């Protein structure tokens, strides 16, 4: 049945450990005999080659081995695990980009190809700035880019990466004299005064509420973000207006509402998308096995009895 599907498919996506597909008889070479234009996308923890090739892998393993956990924990005297499948999502995005590139190549040449994505590769790219700085200086002792600042009732973050932003920041904090000083008003870390002015900002934030800091910085056109809890994110109108997440009807129990991702994070002007109901297990068996592969109801019933399909 796999090879029957292969005949009418554009892409095969798999995330087994290297060698598993070959062991099942589904190597890229065998696939090409059935469909020369097929694109095989293999996503694994460490890639199809390299010292770690055959190891088991999950998201937290990559957070550890990529330097992500170490960098996230800087200043806390221990590594810190990111909350959520950061590395799974990063690998998935790289896989999608690769598949789209392979499809474009096939459009031009008719050729399929085998592409591979390693979770560790993607995780390492998330630390490219820290890696480059360490390579250049030989140490891991450099100013962390970005930090959270305590307010009287919560936490915030801000940034002044462009010319003029720190000048406006200093004026908001009523340090007009420092705003006139090129050393203090320089962007980001292009000055020896970076730590001094950050300390001024910390003290200024501590004396104010999150809302007071937001009002002052947004009015001055300075980037601002409040650190939000998950309940606060759920209550944010911006998320609902843009359909980042949406309510949908669950199948079990009937009438229950569940939260699911919206139809797409990317908003298309010519081909807008909409979300349909959550599909049930096996709901599209008829469309795939019947309409696409030409299987009879009897054949599908037999596959269901054998537990091959739902």
**Residues comprising the chain, all counted:** 310
Is the model more confident about 88 or about 141?
88
Q: What's the mean pLDDT in 113-118?
A: 98
Tell me whether the omega of the peptide bond preceding residue 253 falls within 30 degrees of 0, making it cis.
Answer: yes
Domains and CATH numbers, the chain: 2-137 (3.40.50.10540), 149-227 (3.30.1540.10), 232-261 (no CATH), 279-310 (no CATH)
In sequence order, what are the beta bridge partners of 14?
42
Confidence of residue 217 (pLDDT cuts 50, 70, 90): very high
Asked if residue 142 has pLDDT above 90, the reply is no
Rg (C-alpha) for the chain, rounded Å, is 26
In sequence order, what are the beta bridge partners of 226?
156
Q: What's the mean pLDDT in 85-100?
A: 98
- Do 60 and 133 contact (CB within 8 A), yes or no? no
257-261 and 149-150 strand pairing:
unpaired
Residue with tokens 């937290």: 60
pLDDT tens digits for range 224-241:
999 999 999 999 999 999
CA pair distance 46, 43, nearest whole angstrom: 9
- Do 158 and 224 contact (CB within 8 A), yes or no? yes
Asked if residue 141 has pLDDT above 90, the reply is no
39-44 and 11-14 strand pairing:
parallel
pLDDT tens digits for range 257-273:
999 999 889 999 999 98
CA pair distance 83, 71, nearest whole angstrom: 14
- Do 17 and 56 contact (CB within 8 A), yes or no? yes
Return the C-alpha torsion angle 286, 287, 289, 291, nearest 10: 110
pTM of structure: 0.88
Lowest mean pLDDT among 95-109, 157-171, 201-215: 157-171
Q: Which two tokens stand for residue 267?
A: 């908003």
Asked if residue 191 has pLDDT above 80, the reply is no
Asked if residue 147 has pLDDT above 70, the reply is yes
Residue with tokens 């606060």: 232
Q: Within 10 A of 108 (CB to CB), how many other CB atoms are there?
A: 7
User: Is residue 257 classed as helix, strand or coil in its secondary structure?
Assistant: strand
């Amino acid at each position: 049945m796999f090879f029957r599907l292969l005949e009418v498919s554009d892409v095969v996506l798999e995330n087994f450990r290297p060698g598993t597909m070959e062991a099942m008889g589904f190597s890229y070479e065998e696939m090409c005999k059935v469909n020369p234009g097929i694109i095989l996308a293999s996503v694994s923890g460490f890639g199809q080659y390299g010292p770690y090739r055959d190891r088991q892998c999950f998201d937290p393993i990559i957070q550890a081995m990529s330097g992500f956990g170490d960098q996230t924990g800087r200043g806390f005297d221990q590594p810190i695990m990111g909350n959520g499948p950061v590395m799974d999502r990063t690998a998935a995005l790289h896989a999608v980009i690769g598949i789209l590139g392979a499809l474009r190549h096939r459009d031009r040449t008719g050729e399929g190809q085998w592409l591979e994505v390693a979770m560790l590769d993607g995780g390492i790219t998330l630390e490219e700035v820290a890696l480059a700085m360490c390579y250049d200086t030989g140490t891991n002792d450099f100013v962390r880019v970005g930090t959270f600042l305590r307010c009287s009732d919560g936490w915030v973050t801000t940034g002044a990466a462009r010319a003029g932003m720190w000048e406006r920041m200093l004026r908001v904090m009523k340090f007009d004299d420092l705003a006139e000083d090129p050393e203090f008003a320089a962007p980001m870390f292009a000055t020896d005064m970076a730590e001094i002015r950050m300390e001024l900002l910390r003290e200024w934030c501590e004396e104010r509420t999150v809302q007071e800091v937001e009002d002052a910085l947004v009015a001055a056109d300075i980037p601002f973000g409040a650190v939000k809890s998950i309940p606060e994110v759920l209550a944010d109108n911006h998320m609902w207006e843009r359909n980042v997440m949406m309510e949908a009807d669950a199948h079990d129990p009937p009438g229950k509402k569940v939260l699911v991702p919206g139809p797409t994070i990317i908003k298309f002007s010519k081909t807008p998308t909409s979300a349909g109901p959550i599909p049930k297990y096996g709901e599209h068996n008829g469309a795939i096995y019947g309409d696409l592969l030409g299987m009879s109801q009897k054949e599908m019933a037999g596959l269901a009895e054998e537990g091959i399909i739902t």
